[in-house]
Amino acid sequence: MSTARVTFLGVRHHSPACAGLVRRTIRELRPAHVLVEGPADMNDRIGELLLGHELPIAVFSHYRGTERVATSWTPLCAYSPEWVALTEGRTAGAEVRFIDLPAWHRAFTDRPDGAANRYADAEARYSRATERLRARYRVDTVDALWDRLFEIADPDGLQDRLDAYFALVRGDTEADDGDRAREQYMASWVRAAVAHAGSRPVLVVTGGFHQPALRALTAAPGTSPGAEPAAWPPVPVPPDGAAGGSFLVPYSFRQMDAFAGYQSGMPSPGYYQHLWDEGPGAAAKTLHRTVVERLRARRLPVSTAALISAHTLTEGLAALRGHPRPARVDVLDGLAAALITDDLDQPLPWNTDGPLRPGAHPAVVETVVACTGDRTGRLHPDTPLPPLVHHVTAEEIRLGLDGDRTLDLDLTDPRGLERSRFLHRLRVLGIPGHTRLTGPDHGADPRDHETWEPRPRTGRDAALTEAGAYGARPDEAATALLARRLRDTGTAADAGTTAALLFDAVLCGAGTLSRDLLDGLAHRIRTTADPGPLGRALAVVLGLWRHDRVFGTARDPLLGTVLDHAVDRLFHLVEGLHGGPPGVDVPRLRALTAARDALLHAAPALTLTTPETAAAT
């Protein structure tokens, strides 16, 4: 029977204080197993995570089935407790494993918030306890509360304080179905590790919200180590007909920043990186200096006296608030007090639970940007990449699109059309590299040339990896993404929106999808009550029906049926109109123009004749 002792460390994701606790605990315990909250389907590829990347990076997970498409990110930076657990555990000779369900699992995707990021701190969903603590300590945000209790506090007794905090946050609140499924699964890994560990310790590092439940689940009757089989839990796989997997992608501090809307909750990654590297005092000085340099670069006057004042105010605020050393909010408030002399028309972003708002004072903007930092990760050259990355690279070379020159494409030439379709597929997938300057904008547009201009490729590797969730080839991925957009619009999308998706599908050469879109468009035409969007749809479909020289869709029977429905519905809607609000109703006029053009150029496809139209109008 195993006599292994289990240590549970509940952490806040991307917390330097928690990362330091994990490091100290591993060095003291020398555990046999380090179990980390993260996607268990990455366990066979832990070595890939530890190749020597430049942080931050993320595990990008994807799932594509007949009913749903899901994507998720698991970000990791130098001061992420999970990253420290992986690296320190490996150094200590421990077996390191992720123990959570794969990110595509319904435990994540069926939650109301969609769980786009695995490390979205769960206590944000259970805020009553943190609201009481905020009132007790007289702080404005959970981040300020966290800094006061943990980041700038004495590290002695940190684990006990964390345990008390997360027990209070979790309380006796009933977890949702997704949390329960994840916690049951993680507990099975803990019990298996105990069975394998003999008399050596086991360390479990998870989000603090899950820690109380994991303690209870692994201590419940019938779960003693001796009663547990030694087999490790199976890792779920996508069902038949579905595709899923995970790849590493570069990440950035901007993507991690809560001021930019990231779910994880820890803001100001640039500041916390300095806190992790240098400590709170040096981090405050670095932030002061960086903000002043940024303001001066924008030719905004900042005197040396203002910089000295910011230092003095920061120290004074820390003392006034009873902080043993400056917290992030002390530094930010000190900078604001020293640099802003105008009245502010909005609260300071670090004193609210929200992102930076438009129209913020320049000093506020530069302070937030300096706190965010500009670090972007880079993957090791040996990192495996999804098939789409290789397909795109090969196609760019084959089509001569791998240079930095402006492209003038003749859409009547087969090679020009092929190159255009490839570039439109990348555009739909959101892959940086080229921007279209000129070309047809709708089906009736007579232009048969396109101009594409090269653009910076920043973030291209990550974008390609993420687009790989939709398919292994550019055509397959673009088709799948457009199909998802059609499904996501649901019945709320008007005919004009669906028509725009149809034109994108045609530009990409997605013929099968175009049929699906036409079916959806026909349904929306039959139910729309607004002539404006209906006219937009009619113009697109009419152009596609007429202009086969470029798109190859002329006289398409299904297009003709949609045309007929659109014209009939449009005249039905305008038949009873007798005036309207003052001024010109431009969308209505454009709709009637599209109907006129359909009568002139597509009469064979219509059941409504010109004399009947004249009588109706």
From residue 126, alpha-carbon distances to 54, 170, 175, 537 in Å are 34, 7, 10, 46
144 and 237 inside one domain: yes
| pLDDT classification of 162: cutoffs 50, 70, 90 | very high
Confidence (pLDDT) at 594: 87
d(CA 100, CA 5): 21
HEC assignment per residue over 433-498: CEEEEECCCCCCCCCCEEEEEECCCCCHHHHHHHHHHHCCCHHHHHHHHHHHHHHHHHHHCCHHHH
38 and 165 inside one domain: yes
Single-letter amino acid, residue 574: V
Q: Which of 345, 372, 399 is the last residue of a domain?
A: 372
Tokens at residue 263, please? 């779910």
531 and 398 inside one domain: yes
391 and 368 inside one domain: no
Residue 144 is assigned to a structural domain of this protein: yes
Residue 379 is assigned to a structural domain of this protein: no
Residue 380 is assigned to a structural domain of this protein: no
Q: Pick from 424, 275, 312, 382: which is nearest to 47 by CA?
A: 382
Say if strands 243-250 and 202-207 run parallel, antiparallel, or are unpaired. unpaired
Q: Find the helix packing angle between 269-278 and 362-372, rounded to 10°.
A: 50
Kindly tell me the burial class for residue 591, based on how many C-beta atoms sit within 10 Å of its own C-beta (0-12, 13-18, 19 or more): buried
pLDDT for 554-588, tens place per residue? 787 877 888 888 888 888 888 766 666 666 778 88
Say if strands 95-100 and 243-250 run parallel, antiparallel, or are unpaired. unpaired
202 and 285 inside one domain: no
Tokens at residue 208, please? 């603090």
C-alpha 407, offset from chain centre: 31
Q: Which of 346, 372, 398 is the last residue of a domain?
A: 372
61 and 97 inside one domain: yes
d(CA 581, CA 567): 24
Confidence (pLDDT) at 320: 94
**Residue 112, pLDDT above cutoff 60:** no
Are 186 and 210 in contact by the 8 Å Cβ rule? The answer is yes
Residue 257 is assigned to a structural domain of this protein: no
390 and 532 inside one domain: yes
610 and 475 inside one domain: yes
Q: Pick from 314, 266, 257: which is nearest to 286 by CA?
A: 314
pLDDT for 203-239, tens place per residue? 999 999 899 999 999 986 544 444 445 689 999 998 8
345 and 412 inside one domain: no
Of 119-123, 139-143, 399-403, 503-507, least confident by mean pLDDT is 119-123
Residue 365 is assigned to a structural domain of this protein: yes
Asked if residue 234 has a cis previous peptide bond (ω within 30° of 0), the answer is no
**3-class DSSP assignment, residue 21:** helix
Count how many domains the chain has.
3
How crowded is residue 303: how many other Cβ atoms within 10 Å of its Cβ?
A: 11
Residue 274 is assigned to a structural domain of this protein: yes
pTM of the model: 0.79
Q: Pick from 99, 97, 387, 102: which is nearest to 244 by CA?
A: 102
437 and 525 inside one domain: yes
Residue 97 is assigned to a structural domain of this protein: yes
**Residue 404, pLDDT above cutoff 50:** yes
Q: What pairs with residue 449 in β-bridges?
A: 410
Residue 106 is assigned to a structural domain of this protein: yes
Domain range for 475 is 385-617
Tokens at residue 477, please? 């991925």
Tokens at residue 524, please? 């929306």
- By percentage, how much of the chain surpasses pLDDT 90? 46
Single-letter amino acid, residue 335: L
Q: Which residue has the tokens 């940086």?
A: 432
